[in-house]
Amino acid sequence: MTRCVLTGIDGSPQSEAAALWAAAEARRRGCAVRLLHAWPWLDAGDGNVSQPGDLRQRASDALRGIADRIRHDHPGLPVEVAVVAEDPVDGLLAAAKGQELLVLGSRGLGGFAGLLVGSVGLAVAAAATVPTVLVRLGQAPADRPAGTGGGTGAGAGREVVVGLDGRRTDDTVVEFAVAEAQLRGCRLRVVHGWDPAPVWAYGGLMPPLVDLTEQEATEAALISPVVTALRAEHPGLDIVEDVRLGGGARALLEAASTRADLVVVGRREHRHRLGPRLGPVAHAVLHHCAAPVVVVPHP
């Protein structure tokens, strides 16, 4: 089976926005886009015995409508549709294995303003074996030709933003961010956020007793070797080193607030005793970032 960009469709405006974003990504990568609808009771009517109906046919019709729009916007792009009678999380995880990318809409259904991701999106992002992108409604596809980042071309002024811990650097996440910046022909911003450790004294937490300027230099030294190596390996790519006081999630959200085409965060693949989970930085960024966020699994 040819690798593709997979996107989940649930009938919401958010999922349609994700499908359009996924189509632009598929064209950029030179592969197909596949639209998938997963629901466990597709062949059991609509749940109301007085109004039986074939939900599979309704889902297929909806997918074909989105597929027709994508074909109109991207002539020649291979578009596939699939409808499976499975739980949405299980169906998406199974279909995503071995694919280029999984793209979902940020659909938060709770009552908390600003929380952009619903339970399905969080569950899939926490367990998927491929990079998983959450796209916010209203986020236009960053449909720019590939090229060298940082110049005066179509991607000039735009950025791929990646978070880097410095103490636990993983090449998988950084390499993915580099490739995305090159695909988009834009700048790569490597962000490291930090907070001074508080001091426990007099029966409670006290403000940190450190020289912030000195500590910032120490934090910068953690990621400078990584950035220097990336510049040597990718001389045509504009790479910005960005060290910020305020913690990992806050640093990424601030860095991504204006020019980010994509924000890249990592997720460790090891199993937590309570099941797959996102780290606190990835969780916060997914909920609050206006730009598309991709969660990259790594060892």
If asked whether residues 64 and 195 sit together in one domain, one would say: no
What are the DSSP E strand ranges found in 15-158?
32-38, 79-84, 101-105, 132-135
If asked whether residues 178 and 282 sit together in one domain, one would say: yes
Give the global pTM.
0.84
- Smallest CA-to-CA distance from 294 within 250, 252, 243, 234 is with 252
If asked whether residues 101 and 60 sit together in one domain, one would say: yes
If asked whether residues 289 and 179 sit together in one domain, one would say: yes
If asked whether residues 123 and 23 sit together in one domain, one would say: yes
Band of the pLDDT at 52, cuts 50, 70, 90?
A: very low
Residue 297 has pLDDT above 80, yes or no: yes
Q: What is the average pLDDT value for the chain, to the nearest integer?
A: 81
In a domain, 144, yes or no: no
In a domain, 150, yes or no: no
Give per-residue pLDDT as tens, 8-19. 998 888 889 999
Domain holding 11, by residue range, is: 4-135
Task: Specify whether the CB–CB gap between 276 and 126 falls below 8 A.
Answer: yes
Which of the listed residues 135, 170, 199 is the one where a domain comes to its end?
135
Position 43 scores a pLDDT of 61
Position 112 scores a pLDDT of 37
Report strand pairing: 101-105 vs 187-194. Answer: unpaired
Percent of the chain whose pLDDT exceeds 90:
48
Average pLDDT score over residue span 273-291: 81
Give per-residue pLDDT as tens, 111-142. 333 444 577 888 899 999 999 999 987 766 65
Only one residue has tokens 């230099």, namely 217
| Pairwise CA distance, residues 137 & 109, whole Å | 13
| Pairwise CA distance, residues 118 & 108, whole Å | 4
If asked whether residues 182 and 280 sit together in one domain, one would say: yes
If asked whether residues 90 and 212 sit together in one domain, one would say: no
Task: Specify whether the CB–CB gap between 164 and 172 falls below 8 A.
Answer: no
If asked whether residues 122 and 183 sit together in one domain, one would say: no
Give per-residue pLDDT as tens, 157-207. 799 999 998 776 678 999 999 999 999 999 999 999 887 765 555 555 555
> Which of the two residues, 264 and 248, has the higher pLDDT score?
264
Band of the pLDDT at 149, cuts 50, 70, 90?
A: very low
* Number of domains the chain contains: 2
In a domain, 147, yes or no: no
If asked whether residues 113 and 195 sit together in one domain, one would say: no
In a domain, 199, yes or no: yes
> Which of the two residues, 151 and 220, has the higher pLDDT score?
220
Position 121 scores a pLDDT of 85
In a domain, 151, yes or no: no
Domain with residue 127: its CATH number is 3.40.50.620
| Pairwise CA distance, residues 241 & 233, whole Å | 15
If asked whether residues 91 and 201 sit together in one domain, one would say: no
Domain with residue 289: its CATH number is 3.40.50.12370
Give the type of residue at 68: D
Q: DSSP code of 166?
A: S
If asked whether residues 175 and 209 sit together in one domain, one would say: yes
